[in-house]
Every structure is written in structure tokens, then in C-alpha cells.
Chain A
């Protein structure tokens, strides 16, 4: 814990050491290094996920600020494994805490999520081939709004924010299998709406 070799890299840590114990110096150094290395790069992801959870930009920003404060305080104890999962769990707890003290702001119809898309997985390339009609988009948008909140949130996290099943599970505090089943049910509902509307996607160039 009190390795004398650590704590030499950062000037501010050296200054800090002048009037504090060595243990505190080491802790502060570990905290800063971990925070810069594991937390700061994830800020964009945290913000987008927070937007999905809160549905409002100001709330999302507050939530990420709180997550950053919590992450900073715990940074020296974080082992470096799966930083995003660790941060999403912190974000979820911060969100639950806020929901407890305030009325929950859930995704509501019409303005579900404000965010950008920089998703996606291996299937992304084939998406470019798809030509989707306005009618198709409109039916899907309606179907998305009609989903129960729990289902819509999972769809938003995975399809819009580009989270993996496990990351979505971390942020929602549910098992990965629950994410999968909610996702599949949500898609089946949307698919059923498309069937009812008699819409079939066309492939570009055909």
C-alpha cells in the first residue's frame, strides 16, 4: 500500500506531501491516476446513458457530475478491471438515489431521448444497404413510444447508445438475461406492428 516508489510522478502530489502523511499522498496519487485513466475517457458514454435514463439534458448532466464525484472518491480503490461496468454501476446508484429524493423523470412520449448515434456492432455495415421508408420509420417510432418504459429503456440503451447487453445490465441493475428478454420482447412488439401495417423493408439496389 505504501510503496515509496509511487507518488513521484505528479507535481501536485509532491506538493501535497509536504503537509500530509505519506499514506495520504499515495492515496491521492492513485486516485488522480485512476480518475484520469479510467473515468475521464468514459464521460461521453456516461452522458449518453444518463440521457437515456433521465430523458432530459440538464438532469443528465447533473447525474454525470454526481457520478464523477462518486467515481473520484472511489477511484483509488478501483482495480482497473472493466471501468465502464464500474462507472455504469456508480451511475445507476446515483440515479436511483436521485429518483428516491425526487419524482422520477422517465422517458416520456414524444421526446424520449436527445442524443447522438455513434453505435454500432458488426451489423452496422449492412445497415447502409437498407433503404427504409418514412412509413417504416414512422411505424417504428410509434411502436417505440408505445413500449412499456422498461422495454423502451433497454431498446434505447442498446440500439441508440450502443451499449452491450452486459453494460445495459450494469446500468439497469438487472441480469444480462433480463436485458435480452426485454429487448427481444420489445422488438417482437415492434415487428408485430410492422406486420399489422403490412410493411416490409426493401434492400437497396433491388
Chain B
């Protein structure tokens, strides 16, 4: 925990981790801060639990979406054909 942004006190570490948590979970944090948050979440039980709660929400949201892989693949294939036709028509 010698990194400057995360070293003053346990409380300010938690505060900063909370501030960056959503960005961290969404992969929107730069590598340095991301490493800091990850380290804090490893050592702080409360923040770690908070992170797992939000991560679980993200996972549950993706599970809540109805899946239709085959239909999606068919639609994408049709759209690729459409793109192909489009390019030929406009020649």
C-alpha cells in the first residue's frame, strides 16, 4: 500500500476505492488506478464485499437478458449479405 494515491489512511483508501469502483468494474479505469483499486479490494473486506455486490449485479443483468444466439447470428448473416449487395448495387 505504498502507492501515493492510496496511502494516507484506511478511510481515505476506502473513499477513493468507492469513488473509482464503478469505473473499475466497467473497465474504464487506467491501469495504474485499476491496480490500486484491485489492491485495496483485496485487503479491505468491506470494500471487497461492495465490489462483489456490484459485480454480481452486472452478472445478474446480463443473465436477465433473454438469449437468442441463433436468431442473432442469422440476423447478422443477413445484414452481412445486405452490406455485400449494397456495395455491389452502388458500383
* A residues neighboring B (CB under 8 Å): 12-13, 16, 28, 31-32, 35-36, 39-40, 43-44, 46-48, 51, 57, 60-61, 64-65, 68-69, 72, 111-117, 119-123, 126-127, 130, 132, 136-137, 140-141, 144, 155-156, 158-160, 164-165, 180, 183-184, 187, 190-191, 194, 200-201, 203
Contact = CB atoms under 8 A, between A and B. Distances in A.
Size class of the B contact interface (CB-based, 8 Å): 35 or more
Given A61-B79, A121-B27, A122-B27, A140 B22 contact: no
Given A165-B26, A184-B22, A200 B79 contact: no
Nearest to B72: A116
A201 B79 contact: no
B72 A48 contact: yes
A132 B60 contact: yes
B22 A47 contact: no
Contacts of B90: 28, 31, 72
Interface of B: 22-28, 34, 49, 52-69, 71-72, 75-76, 78-80, 82-83, 86-88, 90-91
A141 B71 contact: no
Contacts of B27: 120-123, 164
Q: Dominant SS at the A interface?
A: helix
B22 A68 contact: no
A32 B53 CA distance: 47
B60 A47 contact: no
A171 B38 CA distance: 30
Contact of B64 (A16, A122, A141): A141
B75 A47 contact: yes
B67 A115 contact: yes
Contacts of A47: 72, 75-76, 79
B26 A121 contact: yes
Given A64-B79, A140-B61, 18 more contacts: A32-B87, A36-B87, A40-B83, A51-B72, A57-B75, A65-B82, A72-B86, A119-B62, A120-B27, A121-B27, A132-B59, A137-B63, A141-B64, A164-B26, A164-B27, A165-B28, A180-B22, A180-B23
A122 B76 CA distance: 26
A126 B68 CA distance: 25
